[in-house]
Amino acid sequence: MTKSISISFIVRIILLVALTASFVQFEAFYKQKDSILNIAYGLNTFLTASVLISIGHFILVKLYNSRNEHQVVRGNFVLGITRVATVGNVFFIIVSVMIALGINPKDFITSMTIVAMAIAVIFREYITNMISGLIIMFSDQFSVGDRIKIGEYQGKIVDITLANLVVRDEDDDAVMIPNNLVFTATLVNKTSQKSNKIVVKFELPVDHAVAVEELEQYFKPLFQNNPNLDHGQGFSVKIADLAKDFVKYKVEVSTISSSNRIHQQVQSKILNEVLQFKGRLN
């Protein structure tokens, strides 16, 4: 637990103990004040549930980290448990407010069944998004930090919420992608393990096409002098496709980190060199 969470947990424990003791110490007072008794019961319900959820969250995360101490893990499990804990706290806040207002939660839920069904229909998209979000969090297909392409969007995942994937695109804009889209569109995870490799593709007309070796010699000074590249991994230029009117090439390099900004800078420099090379051919 972080320091702030630990302090919050201790405060909740102290309040819960004090409130429980007050039921015994001030029993006569509570019997005379029904409204205050309801508020105390509501607060007691929230504190009890909150403490138990925090303990469960801590134990599950601790067990998960201990079990995977010597393995490379994606980290989504911890994110999923945290989101479930948040949903649990919100649920018990609502229940506690009902108790504080003198409303029996069980009777309320029973009487609101039809309304609840209508709400479920109205908010169907959000509910399915939330379920999809939980499935994503407890899967290992991708996690925060991965670079993905889904539909027309691509970039680096910076957060996974119960409603959206938050992706930082090439323009450094935050794009909110509904979780449902993950299961209905083709998704490409461009991050393999923790690889920092990037691929830049470009085309040359057939009549101006050159050998791969010539392109490698042309790009060599750029790659040798670029501090953002992992020089130990080297670079390569390959022919990706050959058509009637053009030849498609791809340049593969490895950067020193998976930073979205660094990837953009490297890609921009490579494309700028391609433009200069094309200018020399014309």
Q: Which of 277, 232, 221 is nearest to 255 (CA)?
A: 232
Q: Which helix (H) or strand (E) holds 238?
A: strand 235-242
Q: With the C-alpha atoms ordered 254, 259, 264, 266, is the resulting torsion angle positive or negative?
A: negative
* Long-range pairs of 30-35 with CB within 8 A, sequence gap ≥ 24: 34/102, 35/102
CATH code at 148? 2.30.30.60
Instruction: Please report the pLDDT score of residue 3 as a whole number.
Output: 46
Whether residue 177 is found in the same domain as residue 203? no
Q: Are strands 197-205 and 147-150 parallel, antiparallel or unpaired?
A: unpaired
Residue 16 shares a structural domain with residue 90: yes
Determine the pLDDT at residue 178. 87
For residue 134, being part of any structural domain is answered with: no
Asked if 7 and 107 sit in the same domain, the reply is yes
Q: Find all residues with CB under 8 Å of 22, minimum gap 6, and list them.
A: 30, 40
pLDDT at 193: 47
> The domain containing residue 101 runs over which residues?
3-111
Inside any domain, residue 264: yes
Q: Are residues 81 and 12 in the same domain?
A: yes
Please indicate, yes or no, if residue 118 is contained in any of the structural domains. Answer: no
Q: Specify whether 40 is located in the same domain as 78.
A: yes
**Co-location of 106 and 24 in the same domain:** yes
Which CATH number fits the domain that encloses residue 259? 3.30.70
- Check whether residue 209 and residue 275 sit in a common domain: yes
Domain boundary among 189, 205, 229: 189
Q: What's the structural domain count of the chain?
A: 3
**For 217-259, how does the pLDDT look when each residue is reduced to its tens digit (9 = 90+)?**
888 888 888 888 877 777 888 888 888 888 998 988 888 876 6
Q: What is the pLDDT along the chain (282 residues), one digit of tens a residue?
A: 544 457 888 899 999 999 989 988 888 888 888 888 889 999 999 999 999 999 988 888 888 777 766 555 456 777 778 888 888 888 899 889 988 888 887 777 666 666 667 776 777 777 787 888 888 877 767 777 788 888 788 888 888 888 888 888 877 788 888 888 888 887 887 765 455 778 888 888 888 888 888 888 888 888 888 888 877 777 888 888 888 888 998 988 888 876 667 777 888 888 888 888 887 776
Tell me if 131 is assigned to some domain: no
Please indicate, yes or no, if residue 239 is contained in any of the structural domains.
yes
Take residue 272 and report the two structure tokens written for it. Answer: 């700028």
**Could you say which of 189, 216, 247 is where a domain stops?**
189
Co-location of 211 and 180 in the same domain: no
The count of residues in the chain is: 282
Could you tell me if residue 126 is inside a domain? no
Please tell me whether residues 79 and 103 are part of one structural domain.
Answer: yes
Q: What is the CA radius of gyration of the chain?
A: 28
User: Rounded distance, CA 173 to CA 155, Å?
Assistant: 9
Helix, strand, coil: what percent of the chain each, to 5? 60, 20, 25
Residue of 41, 43, 45, 49 whose CA lies nearest to 89 = 49
Give the other-Cβ count within 10 Å of 110's Cβ.
10
